[in-house]
């Protein structure tokens, strides 16, 4: 069952992002700088969702880095050894 398509998505605030990162003081200098200094310049702004987009239909809580690190990983083995990449939408990259 899908949620209402009229939800208003709002990207996380700087405070929410900082909370999700957790304590960065324990990270080495390179990693800490990578996740804190000028990170907004490294990623495109999340576009305004259109009707029917995932974020307008499914309410997601998000997760902290610590929560992500605690999730179970899929381990590559004899029956799970291929990753299929499927482009969606227009794809006109020269490579």
Q: What is the pLDDT of residues 2-15, one digit of tens each?
A: 444 456 777 788 78
pTM: 0.46
Mean pLDDT calculated for residue range 48-58? 84
For residues 42 and 10, the model is more confident at: 10
CA 5 to chain centre: 21
Q: What is the pLDDT of residues 10-29, one digit of tens each?
A: 778 878 888 888 888 888 88
Planar angle of CA 66, 72, 74, nearest 5 degrees: 130
């Amino acid at each position: 069952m899908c949620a209402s398509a009229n939800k208003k998505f709002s990207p996380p605030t700087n405070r929410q992002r900082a909370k999700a990162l957790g304590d960065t003081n324990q990270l080495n200098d390179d990693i800490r700088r990578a996740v804190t200094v000028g990170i907004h310049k490294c990623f495109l702004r999340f576009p305004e969702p259109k009707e029917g987009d995932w974020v307008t239909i499914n309410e997601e809580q998000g997760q902290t880095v610590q929560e992500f690190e605690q999730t179970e990983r899929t381990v590559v083995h004899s029956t799970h050894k291929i990753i299929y990449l499927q482009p969606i939408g227009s794809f006109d990259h020269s490579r």
